Amino acid sequence: MVIISATEFDPGAHLNSFMDASQNAGAIASFIGRVRGEHNEVESLYLESYADVTERGIENAESEARARWPLIDVLVIHRIGTMRSGDPIVLVATASEHRRSAFEACDFLMDYLKTEAIFWKKQTTKSGSEWVEPRAADYQDNKRWS
Amino acid sequence: MVKILYFGRLSDRTQCREETIDLPDDICTINALKTWLGQRHDLGDALNLESIKTMINQELVHGNESIANAQEIGFLPPVGGG
């Protein structure tokens, strides 16, 4: 399941629901991404999406993960809008019979989200605002799966 | 009428994220539209950069496609990742 949320979400509550719904899974891996403090210099982070296009892209990545690994369930929640330091941006949870599939699928989905997902990111610091693009290391991480 | 969407850094240049326009009859391809919008918003070659992707009706297009059946056209700068 893919959810794009314009409002703050509670990763713990969503993870609990995900676990309750995946009773047959012996392994659940999860990742929570939050707005970094950057030494308290980041005042806000704004994320923009292209509505259904962004959602479809993430759903395709979920399908690819399900084709690669024997997953019982997948949850991706991604924020858009304005966030502040410490706010959750993303939750990825994967459920599988065994841990390796859950770990790897979670890692794969995060690499997709960091480099290919259709989001634009504007960071505001004390010295102004700028649109941010993926780091070289993010692209390198994503290449591991090709 | 066609809805034009500008994402990321492009919306800073156009001062709007979207607009719905009744295009002149002679604007019937992507390249003509880019030139026309470039003049309308004083964008220089911002829409013509290779890094800008174009979507017609939410489907990625390459080259100088016809916009005859376009209800929505999006201009997408490089994505920033989540």
Q: Which domains does chain B have, with CATH numbers?
A: 2-76 (3.10.20.30)
SS3 assignment, position A71: strand
CA distance A46 to B78: 16
> How many Cα atoms within 13 Å fall on the side-chain side of residue A67?
7
Complex ipTM: 0.90
Residue B75's identity, in one-letter code, is F
Cα of B62 to nearest chain A Cα, Å? 17
Per-residue tokens: B58: 């939410």
Structural domain boundaries, residue A14: 2-143
Per-residue pLDDT tens, chain A, 146 aa: give them: 999 999 999 999 999 999 999 988 999 999 999 998 766 678 899 999 998 999 999 999 999 999 999 999 999 999 999 999 899 999 999 999 999 999 999 999 999 999 999 999 999 988 899 998 777 788 788 888 88
* Residue linked to tokens 């799966």: A145
Q: Which of residues 1-30 of A touch B (CB under 8 A)?
A: none
Q: Higher pLDDT residue, A112 or B82?
A: A112
Q: Higher pLDDT residue, B51 or A89?
A: A89
The total number of structural domains that make up chain A: 1
Of A57, A55, A59, A56, nearest in space to A67 by CA: A59
Contact A92, A31 (CB under 8 A): yes
Indicate the pLDDT class of residue B81, thresholds 50, 70 and 90: confident
- For residue A17, give the CATH number of its domain: 3.90.1170.40
Residues 6+ apart with CB under 8 A from A95: A18, A19, A22, A25, A27, A28, A71, A72, A73, A74, A102
Q: Which residue on chain B is closest to A54 by alpha carbon?
A: B58
Please indicate if any CB of chain A lies within 8 Å of the CB of B74.
Answer: yes
Cβ contact (<8 Å) for A120 and B55? no
SS3 assignment, position A42: strand
